Amino acid sequence: MNLLTDRWMPVIRQNGQPDIIAPWQIAETDNPAIEINAPRPDFQGALYQFLIGLLQTCFAPEDEDQWLEYWQEMPEPEELQACFEKVAFAFELDAEEGPAFLQDFNLPDGETKTISALLIEAPGGKTLKDNLDHFIKRGRVNQLCPSCSATALFTLQTNAPSGGVGHRVGLRGGGPLTTLIFPKASLANLWQKLWLNVLNQEELEPAGKIDSSILPWLGKTRVSDKGQITSPSDVHPLHAYWGMPRRIRLTTKCRNDVCDLCGRSAEVLYQKFRTKNYGTNYDGAWLHPLTPYRFDLKKVNLPLSLKGQQGGLGYRHWLGLTLQDNDNGDKASKTVQFYNEERGRILKDNGSASLWCFGYDMDNMKARCWYESRFPVFYLSELQRNNLTDWAGELVNAAKETVKMLRSEVKSAWFRRPEDSKGDMSQIDAQFWQATEADFYRLLEQLAKLPADMRMAPSEIYASWYEALRKQVFQVFETATLASTPEDLDLRRIVNAQKALRGKFYGNKTIKALKAKATPEEEV
Ligand SMILES: [Zn+2]
């Protein structure tokens, strides 16, 4: 199968019908594709990134004016088809030898694995032994169609966790977050959803010749058996979209059967692949354009990609994912920054956009689960953006302080010796974050509308947030403590903890500061 000329990509068309298309058909105007229709959520994210990477590599607009032309009117399908055809030689999935998509150029020996091991949550040897394979039951995925195999390859190579000695992690580290700008307008087609995330050539160096510095499988693998690293200066910047840390070659096939993942029948299906360690070891200051990073505030360590989190993604991550969090150095991805500073202008009067954020929560080599969230984004002037960063930071900090007190007092209510208990309190945190989320976004929306010359946010905002925190901290506490089973219930301990929580909340410095700002000046 050729990934640029054959039809393999599952989509939904405007009339709601599913279809299978070749990538260039995203530009068809008659009943256009409006969404990807992958069989799994991680594949959905992978196919988006495949198409964005493809457009960025083969069809990047010269400047923002050209970007806008294609935003207003998508290219002719034939134009895109001709453009993709020029690099089709690099996108064969299957080849006896030489280049094959995201596979090692030359891998004569290695360990043979069943195809299900391409899936990121696939149980490894130890998991199988411990009988812990919740995600995929062993023996359930034995053969994959070319479409699922290609998507699984991309998903693994772009998210690769550490996989044992010499099995390298992805270019963004294991299980990075990806953030894509998503048009809010319900009629947006797939082309627009992708195009919003493609940078112009002034922002990202265009491809000259398509070779292994961009698509690493076109040449011999930059191996790491002697500790060699591959840093950004060793390859082309577009390499970031096509990182290939794992040495893999699809091998054993069967014919005319049904795919164990998507359920479609295929002429050829893959059952096994060959793999070997010491593939490319990405190191250095890599910055993937679609991923937010944490920058070391002391500028000593390299930027680290933000990862999926146990407990999920919520408004406490909003600043770092969409703008920048000055407390911890988290900063939005390059494409999101560009949207904030320039491109957002286009959508401002046009239904605006949101941020789609997704990734695995990895526990070292194991995928615990898959997270995705939508966040609001705002196109603002620089002054407004700075204001919003400060104000949102204040609100989130007050909430973080509150959740700390809540967690500690729920623990005191639950356990006779809270300091010794190692109970998981993340449920309590999650309840509090969830209970205050709607209020946060409501206030954020109001803050984003304020004029740039407004230095102080209005006192009503602070008052409203103070009330939300006060109400929810006691409510979540009560639900958590009174929901205990009667034999565990020690009323005196609960009442004491509640009293302590009151004392802490009303006496807290951050909360007091919030309360002070909540009081209009003339009343002070
Ligand atoms: Zn399939």
User: What does the pLDDT look like over 429-462, one tens digit per residue?
Assistant: 999 999 999 999 999 999 999 999 988 999 999 9
Question: Pick from 446, 441, 241, 483: which is nearest to 322 by CA?
Answer: 441
The token pair at 401 is 């302080």
pLDDT of residue 418: 77
CA of 49 to the centre of ligand 1 (A): 18
For the chain, the average pLDDT equals 91
CA of 262 to the centre of ligand 1 (A): 4
Question: What is the per-residue pLDDT across 269-318, written as a single tens digit (0 to 9) for each?
Answer: 999 999 999 999 999 999 999 999 999 988 889 999 999 877 788 999 99
CA of 151 to the centre of ligand 1 (A): 9
295-311 in b/e burial notation, b at 16+ Cβ within 10 A?
beeeeeeebebbbbeee
pLDDT higher than 80, residue 137 = no
CA of 317 to the centre of ligand 1 (A): 35
Q: Are 476 and 432 spatial neighbours (Cβ–Cβ below 8 Å)? A: yes
**Across-strand partners of 144?**
270
CA of 146 to the centre of ligand 1 (A): 7
Element at 324 (helix H, strand E): strand 324-325
CA of 267 to the centre of ligand 1 (A): 11
92-124 in b/e burial notation, b at 16+ Cβ within 10 A?
bbbeeeebbbbbbbebeebeeebbbbbbbbbbe
Q: Which of 16-25, 260-269, 380-389, 483-492 has the lowest mean pLDDT?
A: 483-492
Calculate the CA dihedral of residues 212, 214, 215, 217 and round it to 10 degrees. Answer: 30
pLDDT higher than 60, residue 10 = yes
CA of 259 to the centre of ligand 1 (A): 5
Arithmetic mean of pLDDT, 210-227: 96
CA of 42 to the centre of ligand 1 (A): 14
User: Whose structure tokens read 């204001």?
Assistant: 387
Rounded CA-CA distance 274/294 in Å is 35
CA of 38 to the centre of ligand 1 (A): 9
CA of 148 to the centre of ligand 1 (A): 4
CA distances from residue 2 to 7, 52, 89, 132, 371 in whole angstroms, order as listed: 9, 18, 8, 37, 31
Question: What global pTM score does this model have?
Answer: 0.93
Rounded CA-CA distance 201/204 in Å is 5
CA of 138 to the centre of ligand 1 (A): 18
Element at 389 (helix H, strand E): helix 382-414
CA of 8 to the centre of ligand 1 (A): 9
CA of 269 to the centre of ligand 1 (A): 8
Q: What type of residue sits at position 179?
A: T
Strand ranges for 105-212 from DSSP E: 111-114, 178-183
